[in-house]
Each structure stands twice: as structure tokens, then as C-alpha cells.
Amino acid sequence: MHNPNGPPLFHKAIIESGATTARAVYHPDHALHEKQFQEFLAQLDLKDVPEDQVLVTLRSLPTAHIKGASEAVFNKYNPSVRWPWQPVIDGPGGMIPIAPIKVVSKCPELSNSLFAYFVRFNTIFDHL
């Protein structure tokens, strides 16, 4: 679906999770990702788990504990709109080459009245 060198693939689009207007999208090496992950581990009392054992340990925990830790970190950052668990900007040639909000201002198709899009969101937390 990423087609930067060709004509637009769609006349209309449905965008899930509000990604086009997302402001909390950072580069993969941004320090905030690591900080939020460390806070997530701290919520689970896993700060001292060796790095090579983190995934194994997380997989052994009850889903309710993961959900609670995830919500705690999310709620901490929610007021500042620096949400954890966001997609990352992966640079030129990637799926998200620049901040999504910048695409809206750079893409004439988005300001053309013939182009329509619908943004919606949902949460996995309602289903855990």
C-alpha cells in the first residue's frame, strides 16, 4: 500500500487507529521508547531480569498483570499525548517514512475535495 513513486492507490480510504493524525510517533531509537519499556518492566517488578530473559519472563506472567502494567504506563503518558506502544518512523523507503501528521500537509490529495477519509480507533484492552 506504500506507493511513494506512483499514483495514489485509492480514491478513498479508511484509516484505523487515527494513525494519519498521530503525533506520538517517534524514531525507533528515540529514548522515550526505552524509558517507557523500563517503566513497564518496573510495574511488573522485572527491572532486574537479564535482557535475554525478559520475553520468556513476560510470557510466563498472567495476562491481567501485563494488562495492568501496560495501562499504568499508558495512563502516565496519556495527558501529554506521548503514548507508549505506538508505531515508529522507519525513514525513507519505510512504511512510516515521516511523522504521519506531516504527510497530511505534504499530500495534495488529502486537501482535494475529491479525497475522503474516515479515521476511527479501538482498544484491545476491552477484549483482554
Segment 2-60, tens digit of pLDDT: 666 777 666 555 455 544 455 667 778 889 989 999 999 999 999 999 999 999 999 99
Distance (Å, whole) CA 83 – CA 81: 6
Taking Cα atoms as reference points, which of 87, 89, 97, 88 lies closest to residue 2?
A: 97
What pLDDT, on the 0 to 100 scale, is given for residue 127? 41
Segment 73-104, tens digit of pLDDT: 999 988 887 877 777 777 787 777 777 667 66
Report yes or no: 78 and 86 within 8 Å, Cβ to Cβ. Answer: no
Averaged confidence pLDDT in the chain:
75
Q: Which residues fall within 8 angstroms of residue 99, CB to CB, at 6 or more apart? A: 22, 23, 25, 89
- Domain borders along the chain are 1-25+88-128, 31-85
